[in-house]
Amino acid sequence: MSNQTDKFSSPEQFAAVQEQLELLFPALEESAASSVELSPQMLSEDSCLGPQGGEPQTQTSWLGVLRGLPADDAAANAAIDALASHLQSDNWTVVVDSDTPDVKIGKARLVYLQQGPVNLRLTHERGYPDIVEVLATTPCMDHPQDHKMQRSPLDPSYGKSSRYYPDGA
């Protein structure tokens, strides 16, 4: 579903995504709050190279996750509707809006939105328990070998020591 034409045009544009997501995530939490309480699970750069990549910091993308547990299907759909409405009012483009209300386990609702190089996937996943999730992703970008991956202060792991994330130092 990713639109490969929306790659990063500069390292500055890649760096600006952190600020964009740090402003967006609290607004999304607030938009969904009357239906589902969302909380950040992750908001950081993530390596695109996989576990075998010797220098994971040399190719990264931004990854952010908000997640919450809806009381029922109505709350999940109300949250996704509120999130999609908020995003559309902020010039996000809806690429997919799919509803499969009869599914017992799996994706009951999927809304996929895009703005520049940032993609957002809003899902209501039925399971044990049901989950409403916002997943933010970007294309990968190559970096110099001395690049340090960034983790947002909104990320629950912010401040933990790691050789790749300077926020733990």
Q: Is the peptide bond before 101 cis (omega within 30 degrees of 0)?
A: no
Residue ranges per structural domain of the chain: 11-47+60-157
Q: Which helix (H) or strand (E) holds 77?
A: helix 73-89
Helices (H), 33-143: 73-89
Is the pLDDT score of 4 beyond 50?
Answer: no
Is the pLDDT score of 3 beyond 60?
Answer: no
C-alpha separations of 5 from 8, 45, 75, 116 in Å: 9, 20, 35, 9
Task: Tell me the per-residue pLDDT of 80-105, one tens digit each, with 9 for 90 and over.
Answer: 999 999 999 999 999 999 999 889 99
- The least confident of 13-17, 91-95, 137-141, 161-165 is 161-165
Query: In terms of residues, how long is the chain?
Result: 169
Instruction: Count other C-beta atoms under 10 Å from residue 105's C-beta.
Output: 10
The structure's pTM equals: 0.91
- Tokens 């509120």 locate to 82
The CATH topology of domain 11-47+60-157 is TBP-like (3.30.2030)
